[in-house]
Amino acid sequence: MGLDDALIFTRVVECHSFTQAAQMLGMQKSTVSRRIALLEERLGVRLLNRTTRKLRLTEVGSAYYERCRQIMLDFAEAEQAVMQLQQVPSGLLRITAPIEFGQLLLGRVIGAFMRLHPQITVEAELTSRGVDPVEEGVDIVIRVGQPQDSTLIARKLLETTRHLCASPQYLAEHGRPTRVEELAGHRAILLPQDPPRHWPLAGHSLPCQRVLSCNNITLAREAAIAGAGIAVLPRMIVDAAVQSGELIELLPDAQLPIGEIYAVYPSRRFQAMKVKAFLDFLIAHLPVEDGRLLEPAVMRLITSRP
């Protein structure tokens, strides 16, 4: 059964007139009459008895009308449900994010968002692996760096600074560099996006002894605390260790690459209200100033406020 035919038939019955049904549907009366005739021919039954004054449903036509009417009601209800989803954030929101970003920044934002929108439920996965939002059906992928796939939308959330840090034990054994040039040959703990044989320094090409590469910044920090080498890590992940003396920050004026965090999602067209609302809420509530993640001490002050 074609939905168009069901709609035309239902309107004719409810209007008790081909003319009025045609006006409601924006069609010619002759077109409506022909479509009903073709429908009856296809079904092999008479649905309507026509006279010059009125239309009457046959017995089979009455049964057919009840089924068509229910289908039209279900269809209207489905459309209304979809429109409501676009008016009020609701439904399941699936998010993935880097582990430390999720632990330090995302949990409170999600909690506050869900309190504001109780019809939202969330599935959050904290992971270091690459996630394809289209393949895996994820609404929002938070990741470091822009995606290579040009069909995805990438919305920049923030920038993070990176710093050189090492343990007192490492510096006692290998010496403390006081100039950038003195980094040459030192043992390095780097991230996968860093060059394999050189320190990731702007304006310098200094060789390093890369002893550890990992895609988890907490692991890299702990290895640095244990004395494995000099780590190049975001301030937010090393701040507590620097404050406690487990790590020492080196060469604060060194020009290290900026880390960029993006929210990636499949399409801006017909974007679900839940996705748009959460992205706007996330950006409004991240501890960011002029696009940069605030220093950890300021972050703690902000997140501790009621």
CA dist 90 and 276 (Å) reads 11
Residues 293, 287 contacting (CB under 8 angstroms): yes
Domain edges within the chain: 3-87, 91-158+261-303, 162-250
Per-residue pLDDT at 92? 92
What is the pLDDT averaged over residues 222-235?
A: 94
CA dist 254 and 192 (Å) reads 20
pLDDT at 297 over 50: no
Average pLDDT along the chain = 86
Neighbours of 301 (CB within 10 A): 12
Per-residue pLDDT at 232? 92
Q: Which long-range contacts (CB under 8 A, 24 or more apart) does 241-244 make?
A: 241/165, 242/165
Which class is 162-250 in CATH? alpha beta
- Helix or strand (DSSP H, E) at 250: strand 248-250
Least confident window among 102-106, 135-139, 266-270: 266-270
In sequence order, what are the beta bridge partners of 248?
166
pLDDT at 306 over 70: no
Residues 159, 259 contacting (CB under 8 angstroms): yes
Residues 301, 289 contacting (CB under 8 angstroms): no
Residues 138, 274 contacting (CB under 8 angstroms): no
3-87, what's its fold? Arc Repressor Mutant, subunit A (1.10.10)
The radius of gyration computed from the CA coordinates of the chain, to the nearest angstrom, equals 32
Please indicate whether residue 293 or residue 11 has the higher confidence score (pLDDT). 11
Distance of alpha carbon 19 from its chain centroid, rounded? 50
| Percentage of the chain modeled with pLDDT above 90 | 38
- The pLDDT tens digits for 157-171 are 988 888 999 999 999
Phi, psi of 124 (to 5 degrees): -115, 130
Q: Do domains 91-158+261-303 and 162-250 have the same CATH topology?
A: yes
pLDDT at 305 over 50: no
- The pLDDT tens digits for 56-79 are 888 888 888 888 888 887 777 776
CATH node for 91-158+261-303: 3.40.190.10
Per-residue pLDDT at 245? 96
